[in-house]
Structure 1
Amino acid sequence: MGTQHTYRVIVRGRWDALTDASRTALLADVEEHGLANMQFTPEGTLTYDRALQHFSYRFVVLSDAEDGEEMAEALAEEKAENILKDVGHGFRDLRSKATDMDTMKINRKPSRR
């Protein structure tokens, strides 16, 4: 096992064929899943709006650095799929983008003296 890196992964998708029960449940919780509640967590944070067209999940994923961002993206997509299937919400068109937090360069503004 190689060096573990921490990845922040955003998984985006579209709601698809939502049942009346899913639509009602999502709309009942829409205020808890808005932009103000976005954060990266190992369990994932779901965000969506009242239109119920698109959604995103934000995950923190630990993965071997040699497996790269692609593995972190695959792991996050699998987590999102499992969560959504478990609660019975229809979805499609998952795509993801990972950022390796261990190699991310931070550009600091030079101090003015």
Structure 2
Amino acid sequence: MTTRTFRIMVRGVFDGLTDAQRAELLAEAPRHDVLHAAFTREGHLSYDLTARTAFTFRFLDEGEEEEDILLATERAEQAARAWLDERGYGCRNLRSQAEDLSQAPLGKRQRRAAQSPR
């Protein structure tokens, strides 16, 4: 059986932040800049509070069956909620989007490499 790699994005909006929480997030903002965004097993958070209160967690997970993407998405949402809850950050409009990389279309270079003789 082959292993499938899943990329999951959990998006939402910070809600009801106190001044102290906002200051805390702004102090940590360089670590969470979208330019450093990456899909990781533990999840990577990115946001830009100076522009808007939206955030995105990016998770990387694996499974063996196509249906495993549902469990991976559920784990990602739970991890995002846990991170927010541990810090007392309120959120709203939490939603997820998942992609099975084994189903992703090949890019131009990948198609060329697949067609070239070895």
* TM-score where L is the length of structure 1: 0.83
Give the residue type in structure 1 aligned to 2:69.
E
Change (3 A) 1:66 1:37: same
Note the aligned Cα RMSD (angstroms). 2.1
| Residue equivalent to 1:69 | 69
Query: How do residues 28-39 of structure 1 correspond to structure 2 at under 5 angstroms?
Result: 28-39=27-38
Alignment partner, residue 21 of structure 2: 22
Where does the alignment leave 5 or more consecutive residues of structure 1 unmatched?
none
How far is 1:50 from its partner? 2.5
Gaps in structure 2 of 5+ consecutive residues: 114-118
Aligned equivalents of 2:45, 2:22: Cα separation in 1: 15
Report deviation, 1:47. Answer: 0.5
More helix by percentage: 2
Secondary structure in 1 matching 2:103: coil
SS in 2 for 1:57: strand
* Higher mean C-alpha displacement, 40-49 vs 71-80: 71-80
- DSSP 3-state at the match of 2:108: coil
The 2-side partners of 1:103 and 1:25 are apart by 39
Correspondences of 1:35-74 after superposition (within 5 Å): 35-51=34-50, 52-74=52-74
TM-score of the aligned structures, taking structure 2 as reference length? 0.80
Count of residue pairs brought into register by the alignment: 110
